[in-house]
């Protein structure tokens, strides 16, 4: 039999009175800190400090391993060795696996065994480890929901609520779990908006790692443009898509000390996933693009799309090759830009285009999978493709216009 809610509460109340005794609670440093992190006056400076610390650590950690260890290892030892040791110089096999025999840095060699390994192990792996180490600590300490409370007001302006910060932050690691976690949002509208905004405007940890290593001087501009895009299109989508955006009531858990075993375990799961899921895709991407080059496909596509690339976006037509690699891995796509000769502003535009033109294949399949639960695949798919095309065309073109107006193209 079923009780009605009122009766249920009445019974529970009696049970609790019979079995629970409330003692006196002392306030501890932890509970005081827990309070301070959600009050706007103290919470916002605290959040900024946390984000700054996050960023500083990510930068220092990834920089230490990439520039201090992997760059010398790959550029001074691995690259020259394999360029000499690999037989069949001049053959197509050499081109696919080793790439340019004259290259002096591992970003520009463009072979599977040179750039492929370097990007995956030397650049992205340290970034992934650094990112998930911090994220895990933030997750386990209970800071995430506090951040959600603080950003609630801002996100309401684009029809979301504070808890949307969780998929956003998860997406900064990898868009795939980010898209999956949109399930905790209440309405189809919110889920649809969030999936699109995430997969378009939030670069993943692997891409961040490569950007940081390759073009640290432009990093801030690119992120600013992407974040602005997130809010501009969020606001637009909120106006255009029918549906509700309800308020959320959430629990803020107490602050806890993360345990070493749990942090270690989560980190291990991510690193293992990276080796089994990501590295094969990076290598595959390098191989595929090289094959397409050899087959003349790339130059054919580049020539046919030239008006769009040079005319509308203001970037060299050669960026078509990285864009193709970007279907598989965004990190690889950004890395491949380094071999193309272009101005600083063009580089910024190219990276922005790579970020927004299409989600990587893994994210895209996740959107399809989740779309099934959020109003039907066809609807979500056509909706996202339409939004995507509009965003790329407008947001990419606008950047070109900004460049022209500033006179920096």
When asked if residue 266 is in the footprint of another protein (CB under 8 A), the reply is: yes
Spatial distance between the Cα atoms of 111 and 96, rounded to a whole number of angstroms: 5
Residues 350, 315: Cα–Cα separation, whole Å: 7
Stretch that binds another protein, among 255-263, 325-333, 378-386, 395-403 (CB under 8 A): 255-263
DSSP state of 218: G
Q: How far is the CB of 14 from another protein (least distance, A)?
A: 5
Phi, psi of 244 (to 5 degrees): -100, 155
Q: Does 12 bind another protein (CB under 8 A)?
A: yes
| Of residues 257 and 304, the one with the C-beta less far from another protein | 257
Which position has the token pair 């965003």?
391
Structure tokens at 124: 């992205």
Nearer to another protein, 350 or 374 (CB): 374
Give the x/- contact pattern for another protein in 169-198, rule: CB under 8 A. -----------xx-xxxx----x-------
**Contacts to another protein from residues 15-74, by CB under 8 A:** 15-26
Note whether 253 binds another protein by CB under 8 A. Answer: yes
If the CB atoms of residues 89 and 373 are measured against another protein, the closer one turns out to be 373
| Least spacing, CB of residue 143 vs another protein, in Å | 8
Residue 110 forms beta bridges with which residues?
A: 99
Phi and psi of 99, rounded to 5°? 90, -140
The HSE-up count of residue 328 (CA atoms within 13 Å, CB side) is 23
CA distance 128 to 269: 12
Q: Among 231, 239, 344, 298, which Cα is nearest to 95's?
A: 298
How many residues touch another protein under the rule CB under 8 A: the total is 52
One of 89, 244, 373, 379 touching another protein (CB under 8 A): 373
> Measured from the CB atom, is 102 or 247 closer to another protein?
247
**Binding window for another protein (CB under 8 A); candidates: 11-19, 36-44, 91-99, 381-389:** 11-19
The pair of three-digit structure tokens given for residue 8, joined into one six-digit string: 């249920």
* CA–CA gap between residue 229 and residue 406 (Å, rounded): 19
The CB-of-249 to another protein minimum distance in angstroms stands at: 10
Instruction: Give the residue with the Cβ less far from another protein, 14 or 89.
Output: 14
Contact, 337 vs 322, CB < 8 A? yes
Q: How far is the CB of 238 from another protein (least distance, A)?
A: 19
2 binds another protein (CB under 8 A): yes
Region near another protein per CB under 8 A, out of 14-22, 122-130, 224-232, 322-330: 14-22
Residue 102 backbone dihedrals phi, psi, to 5 degrees: -95, -5
Q: Which of 234, 222, 84 is closest to 161 using CA atoms?
A: 234
Q: Which two tokens stand for residue 15?
A: 């049970």
What does 282-323 look like in DSSP terms, one character per residue?
HHHHHHHHHHHHHTTHHHHHHHHTHIIIIIII---GGGHHHH
Give me the least distance between CB of 216 and another protein, in Å please: 30
CA distance 133 to 271: 11
d(CA 257, CA 150): 21
Q: With contact defined as beta carbons under 8 Å apart, do 330 and 208 qualify? A: no
Q: Which of 238, 319, 336, 374 binds another protein (CB under 8 A)?
A: 374
Out of 99, 122, 126, 145, which residue is the one contacting another protein (CB under 8 A)? 145
When the beta carbons of 262 and 303 are compared against another protein, the nearer one is 262
Stretch binding another protein (CB under 8 A), from 50-58, 251-259, 300-308, 336-344: 251-259
366 part of the interface to another protein, by CB under 8 A? no
Contact call for residue 200 and another protein (CB under 8 A): no
Residues that bind another protein in the complex, under the rule CB under 8 A: 1-3, 7-9, 11-26, 136, 139-142, 144-145, 163, 166, 180-181, 183-186, 191, 250-251, 253-254, 256, 258-259, 262, 265-266, 268-269, 373-374
């Amino acid at each position: 039999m079923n009780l009605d809610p009122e009766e249920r509460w009445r019974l529970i109340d009696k049970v609790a009175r019979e079995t629970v005794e409330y003692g006196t609670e002392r306030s501890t440093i932890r509970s005081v800190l827990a309070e301070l992190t959600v009050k706007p006056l103290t919470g916002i400076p605290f959040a900024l400090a946390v984000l700054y610390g996050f960023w500083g650590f990510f930068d220092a950690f990834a920089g230490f391993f990439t520039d201090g260890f992997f760059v010398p290892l790959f550029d001074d030892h691995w690259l020259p060795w394999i360029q000499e040791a690999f037989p069949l110089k001049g053959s197509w096999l050499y081109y696919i696996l080793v790439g340019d025999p004259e290259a002096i840095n591992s970003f520009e060699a463009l072979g599977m065994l040179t750039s492929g390994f370097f990007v995956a192990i030397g650049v992205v792996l340290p970034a992934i480890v650094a990112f998930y180490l911090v994220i895990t600590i933030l997750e386990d300490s209970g800071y995430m929901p506090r951040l959600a409370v603080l950003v609630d007001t801002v996100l309401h302006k684009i029809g979301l609520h504070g808890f949307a910060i969780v998929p956003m932050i998860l997406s900064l690691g990898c868009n795939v779990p980010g898209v999956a976690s949109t399930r905790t949002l209440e309405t189809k509208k919110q889920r649809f908006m969030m999936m699109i905004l995430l997969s378009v405007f939030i670069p993943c940890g692997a891409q961040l790692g490569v950007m940081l290593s390759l073009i640290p001087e432009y990093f801030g501009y690119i992120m600013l443009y992407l974040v602005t895009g997130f809010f501009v299109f969020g606001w637009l989508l909120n106006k255009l898509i029918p549906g509700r955006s309800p308020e959320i009531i959430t629990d803020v858990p107490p602050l806890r000390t993360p345990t070493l075993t749990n942090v270690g375990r989560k980190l291990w799961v991510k690193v293992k996933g990276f080796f089994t899921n990501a590295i094969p895709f990076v290598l595959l991407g390098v191989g595929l693009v090289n094959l397409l080059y050899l087959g003349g496909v790339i130059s054919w596509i580049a020539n046919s799309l030239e008006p769009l690339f040079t005319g509308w976006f203001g970037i060299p037509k050669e960026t078509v090759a990285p864009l193709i690699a970007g279907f598989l891995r965004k990190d690889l796509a950004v890395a491949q830009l380094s071999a193309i000769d272009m101005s600083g502003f063009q580089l910024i535009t190219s990276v922005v285009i790579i970020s927004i033109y299409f989600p990587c294949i893994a994210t895209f399949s996740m959107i399809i999978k989740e779309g099934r639960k959020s109003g039907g695949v066809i609807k979500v798919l056509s909706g996202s493709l339409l939004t995507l095309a509009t965003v790329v065309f407008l947001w990419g073109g606008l950047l070109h216009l900004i460049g022209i107006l500033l006179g920096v193209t």
